[in-house]
Amino acid sequence: MWDYSDKVKEHFFQPRNAGPLADANAVGDVGSISCGDALRLMLKVDPETETIEEAHFQTFGCGSAIASSSALTEIVKGMKLDDALKVSNQDIADYLDGLPPEKMHCSVMGREALQAAIANYRGEEWSDDHEEGALICKCFAIDAVLIEDTVRANNLSTMEDVINYTKAGGGCASCHEGIEEILAKVLAERGETFKAVPVKLDKEAPKPGKLTNLERIRRIEAVLESVRPQLQRDHGDIELVDVDGKTVYVSMTGACAGCQMEALTLQGIQTKLMEELGELIKLVPTRAGSLARATSQP
């Protein structure tokens, strides 16, 4: 059985705000392909202030799906819509004192329901922004699609590359067979053969502040590389402009520039950067003016 936190169990056994909401004016219906769970989020939004007054849910799903839905309704109640859009799946998981890696997609489903409900309120069309594959790395919750896309986009050829670019395989190492199969497949596509090279696994996680400038920039670039396939799928891209202390300047190009999801995308990347570098990072998009300022830095 899963190792659920007490908070997850509590929200499962006594779900908050469960059941239909009669006068809802924002409804989001989404499901997760990876497990078949689905959720309807119903919000009552005050049109004057764009504040969420009531939030209810109905969920067809497992214990953590029900708990994530319950947590989501508690988090967003009283929020302005624009603030609610910033709620990440990590926020939902954190609210529940964490979820098992296999169950993180339950919190993703919650975030998507929220985005779908707000889009519904605003009369917009919502479509999902990611594709989920079979979970390969259980230590860092990384799926096959992400690994395959990253290997392809960056011409990776070794296990160590995959670990550096995606983190997948960097923990207990028991998923290496699965990763090697992906490598072999993609390498075969480009007419190469996969050769196993011994991998040195870090005994310890990187200590914050101990990285050299070069290492920091390499890691930042690796994170950007790892998200690039997703952005490119949406016909956008991201470039590293400069790194100044804790501030990382990037330029969003193509469809990403000015996209209404830009803030959310950047926030996701910022979280990834912080995880990877083990320090606080501020990710700043550069526009025409700020770009000049950023590039004029020494």
Partner 1 sequence: MEGIYLDNNATTRVDPAVVEAMLPYFTEQFGNPSSLHSFGNKVGLAVKKARMQVQELLGAEHESEIIFTSCGTESDSTAILSALKANPERREIITTVLEHPAILSLYSQLEKEGYTAHYLKVDGKGRVDMDEYKRLLSDKVAVVSVMWANNETGSFFPVLEMAELANAAGVMFHTDAVQAVGKVPIDLKNSKIDMLSLSGHKLHAPKGIGVLYLKRGVRFRPLLRGGHQERGRRAGTENTASIVALGKACEMALAAMEHENTEVRRLRDKLEAGILAKVPHAFVTGDASNRLPNTSNIAFEYIEGEAILLLLNKFGIAASSGSACTSGSLEPSHVMRAMGIPYTAAHGTTRFSLSRYTTEEEIDRVIQVVPEIVAQLRKLSPYWGENGPSAEPEKDFAPVYA
Q: List, edge to edge, every strand of the sheet that includes 236-244.
A: 236-244, 247-254, 282-285
What 3-state class would DSSP assign to 24? Answer: coil
Nearest distance from C-beta of residue 215 to partner 1, angstroms: 35
Contact residue for partner 1 among 5, 34, 51, 267 (CB under 8 A): 34
The residues carrying an active-site annotation are: 35, 106
Task: Examine residue 261 and tell whether it contacts partner 1 (CB under 8 A).
Answer: no
**Which tokens in the block code for residue 79?**
């929020």
Is the CB of 19 or the CB of 78 nearer to partner 1? 19
Contact residue for partner 1 among 21, 52, 54, 61 (CB under 8 A): 61
Tell me how far CA of residue 129 lies from CA of 104, 166, 231, 235, in angstroms: 16, 18, 9, 12
Angle among Cα 94, 277, 226 to the nearest 5 degrees reads 85
Classify each residue of 255-292 as buried b or exposed e, where b means 16 or more C-beta atoms within 10 Å of its C-beta. ebeebeeeebbbebbbebbbebbeeebebbbbeeeeee
Give the binding-site size for partner 1 (rule: CB under 8 A).
42
Task: Examine residue 15 and tell whether it contacts partner 1 (CB under 8 A).
Answer: yes
CA 153 vs. chain centroid, Å, equals: 19
- Residues in contact with 215: Cβ distance below 8 Å, sequence separation at least 6, in sequence order: none
Is the CB of 18 or the CB of 173 nearer to partner 1? 18
Task: Examine residue 32 and tell whether it contacts partner 1 (CB under 8 A).
Answer: yes
Site track for partner 1 across 76-115, x = CB under 8 A: --------------------------xx----xx--x---
Task: Examine residue 172 and tell whether it contacts partner 1 (CB under 8 A).
Answer: no
Nearest distance from C-beta of residue 159 to partner 1, angstroms: 18
Helices (H) and strands (E) in the chain, counts: 11, 8
> From CA 68, how far away is CA 92, in angstroms rounded?
6
Is the CB of 124 or the CB of 239 nearer to partner 1? 124
Is the CB of 9 or the CB of 219 nearer to partner 1? 9
Alpha helices in 134-239 (DSSP H): 144-153, 159-166, 176-189, 213-233
Task: Examine residue 14 and tell whether it contacts partner 1 (CB under 8 A).
Answer: no
Site track for partner 1 across 110-139, x = CB under 8 A: --x---x---------xxx-xxx--x----
Is the CB of 50 or the CB of 102 nearer to partner 1? 102
Task: Examine residue 237 and tell whether it contacts partner 1 (CB under 8 A).
Answer: no
Is the CB of 116 or the CB of 256 nearer to partner 1? 116
- Interacting residue ranges for partner 1, rule: CB under 8 A: 1-2, 9, 12-13, 15, 18-19, 29-40, 58-66, 102-103, 108-109, 112, 116, 126-128, 130-132, 135
